[in-house]
């Protein structure tokens, strides 16, 4: 699907709403969710929220099974509450996970999120059933596994034990919670 066609369709759909239009951009690590959400967000003048800000999966490798990993990774309740406030065109403040310290704490400074007619939440788990009641459009991004691994290597420098640990949770999520047929549209990104 052409992004300008997608943008046109989204504008037409939102036109009849008296509230923001919510979009999730989901996919495995390294598929380009953040980049795609930024491009789409710029085209729509949308508020873009990163699921990584709501990380809650801990900072050490544990013996969790893939289902537990998928459940613990993101604080979906906090994302839902954030989206709910934005639905009523309210400004939202929250403390995102502190990735620089990476000790389990949240950043000291609150992040301010302004409401707009379009809100995009991007990240793995953004199409979770816990969020679908507020999401109007769920987009799944997919690329070849070889290309995804190349992108991860380029971004991370190595595919670490950490990446491998969390990929089990992602696989479980896309097989059991959000399989491809739960998205519309499913966009295959050509590399």
pLDDT tens digits for range 72-131: 999 999 999 999 999 999 999 999 999 999 999 999 999 999 999 999 999 999 999 999
Instruction: Say which residue the tokens 């971004």 belong to.
Output: 155
Exposure string over 69-97, b if 16+ CB within 10 A, otherwise e? bbbebbbbeebbebbebbeeeeebebebb
Q: What are the tokens at 57?
A: 């999966």
Query: Quick one: pLDDT at residue 1?
Result: 57
Other C-beta atoms lying within 10 Å of the C-beta of residue 48: 20
> 111-113 and 92-94 as β-strands: parallel, antiparallel, unpaired?
antiparallel
Instruction: Say which residue the tokens 């379009």 belong to.
Output: 118
Query: Quick one: pLDDT at residue 56?
Result: 94
DSSP 100: T
Domain ranges in the chain are 3-188
- For residue 162, pLDDT over 90 is answered with no
Instruction: Say which residue the tokens 């839902």 belong to.
Output: 80
Smallest Cα–Cα separation from 35: which of 125, 151, 129?
Answer: 151
Query: Quick one: pLDDT at residue 191?
Result: 41
The architecture that CATH gives domain 3-188 is 3-Layer(aba) Sandwich (3.40)
Query: Quick one: pLDDT at residue 129?
Result: 96
Q: Poorest-confidence range of 37-46, 103-112, 159-168, 171-180?
A: 159-168
pLDDT tens digits for range 16-59: 889 999 999 999 999 999 999 999 999 999 999 999 999 998 88
DSSP 182: G
- For residue 148, pLDDT over 70 is answered with yes
Query: Quick one: pLDDT at residue 133?
Result: 96
pTM: predicted TM-score of the whole model, two decimal places? 0.93
């Amino acid at each position: 699907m052409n992004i300008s066609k997608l943008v046109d369709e989204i504008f037409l759909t939102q036109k009849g709403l008296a509230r923001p239009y919510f979009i999730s951009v989901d996919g495995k690590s390294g598929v380009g969710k953040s980049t795609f959400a930024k491009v789409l967000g710029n085209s729509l003048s949308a508020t873009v929220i990163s699921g990584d800000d709501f990380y809650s999966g801990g900072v050490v490798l544990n013996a969790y099974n893939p289902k537990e990993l998928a459940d613990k990774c993101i604080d979906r309740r906090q994302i839902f509450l954030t989206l709910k406030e934005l639905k009523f065109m309210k400004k939202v403040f929250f403390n995102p996970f502190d990735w620089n310290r990476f000790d389990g704490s949240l950043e000291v400074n609150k992040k301010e999120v302004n409401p707009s007619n379009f809100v995009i939440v991007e990240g793995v788990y953004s199409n979770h059933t816990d969020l679908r009641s507020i999401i109007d459009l769920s987009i799944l991004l997919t690329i070849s596994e070889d290309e995804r691994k190349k992108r991860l290597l380029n971004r991370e420098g190595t595919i670490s034990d950490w990446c491998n640990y969390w990929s089990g949770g992602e696989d479980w999520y896309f097989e059991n919670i959000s399989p491809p047929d739960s998205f519309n549209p499913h966009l295959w990104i050509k590399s």
